[in-house]
Amino acid sequence: MRCLPVFGALFLAATSLATAQIQVSVQTQRTDFLLYERVDLFVTVQNVGGTDLILDNQEGQPWLSFMVSKHGRINDFPVQAERQSNFPALTLKVGETKTFGVNITPLFAFRDVGEYRASAIIDLPGEGQIISDPVPFTVLNGRTVWSQIHPADGSERTYSLIRFAPKIDTTELYLRVEDPADNLVYANLALGGLAAATDPGAYFDPAGNLHILQPVALGTYLYTRADPNGKIVHQAIFRSAPQPGSGIVDNVPPYLMKTGDGNVIVMGGVEENPNVHRERLSESQGVKKAAAQTDASPPDVAQ
């Protein structure tokens, strides 16, 4: 892992071509990403000219695109884009600056771990292409703590729970759902924090839903139910609690159990605020939508 200078909470690649009417820069919130995870770039565009601008696609040529390269032993080599970006028009008044987030994983579908560099390219009629300085990031493998093949929609899918530390002081549990035969990734998302020493529990129910119980802190557990495509349909917090009528003084941690009909329930512990709607933790991992953000996915990476 390389050490990079930190500017606030962002890793910044400075603007280039300052004499042009547009200045552009790109940033990332962090430098390390799990393989197949979304890589969000924050693009900042500033109108430094004397007239208002409308950035729009021209005859099939997108006004915004990206250039990505992978670091090799001797030199960098380009990563081929798998999908053309398609962004709505952006209006910039004189002196105005706008910043927006773009998930570039669907555009390039990174399949290899390694060190990468990404630049934003703006196609400005009359001035040609304006390219930002590159921002570096690294794609890494996590540690798989549970994996199982399970049928879904006529295919054999691999479901995996992966430990990964996106930051030095944070360990997250990720759920990945993929179909290796078709080279298709259905989901690769962070469920929430994970305690350092204990692995999660996981069971399938008869409908193909995956139930996961992970320790997030001392005596605190996060329960997740995901559908066969890896979409989270429910999450809840459980805490250790005394077992009624057992005579046990110490708190008993919750655990997953299969019933006689194959369904999965949480035994032991107590659910925290079961009647209060809770925001899905996976949603808080994402980047807020902005005016020019793409959510497109390539044919072989369904995110």
User: What's the confidence (pLDDT) of residue 249?
Assistant: 59
Q: One digit per residue, pLDDT tens: the chain, 303 residues?
A: 444 444 444 555 544 443 478 899 999 999 999 999 999 999 999 999 899 999 998 877 899 999 999 998 778 899 999 888 889 999 999 999 999 999 999 999 788 999 999 999 999 877 788 999 999 999 999 999 999 999 999 999 999 999 999 988 889 999 999 999 998 999 999 999 998 678 899 999 999 999 999 999 989 999 999 999 999 999 999 999 876 665 555 678 899 999 999 999 999 889 987 654 444 433 333 333 333 333 333 334 344
User: What's the confidence (pLDDT) of residue 12?
Assistant: 52
Give strand ranges (E) for 141-196.
143-152, 155-167, 170-179, 184-193
* Contacts (Cβ under 8 Å, ≥6 apart) of 257: 264, 265, 266, 267
Q: Is residue 165 classed exposed, middle or buried when 0-12, 13-18 and 19+ CB atoms within 10 A define those classes?
A: middle
Contact 199, 190 (CB under 8 A): no
Contact 166, 285 (CB under 8 A): no
Task: Give the Cβ contact number of residue 302 at 10 Å.
Answer: 17
How far apart are the C-alpha atoms of 228 and 253, rounded to whole Å?
A: 27
Instruction: Give how far the C-alpha of residue 168 lies from the chain's centroid of Cα atoms, to the nearest Å.
Output: 17
User: What's the confidence (pLDDT) of residue 250?
Assistant: 67
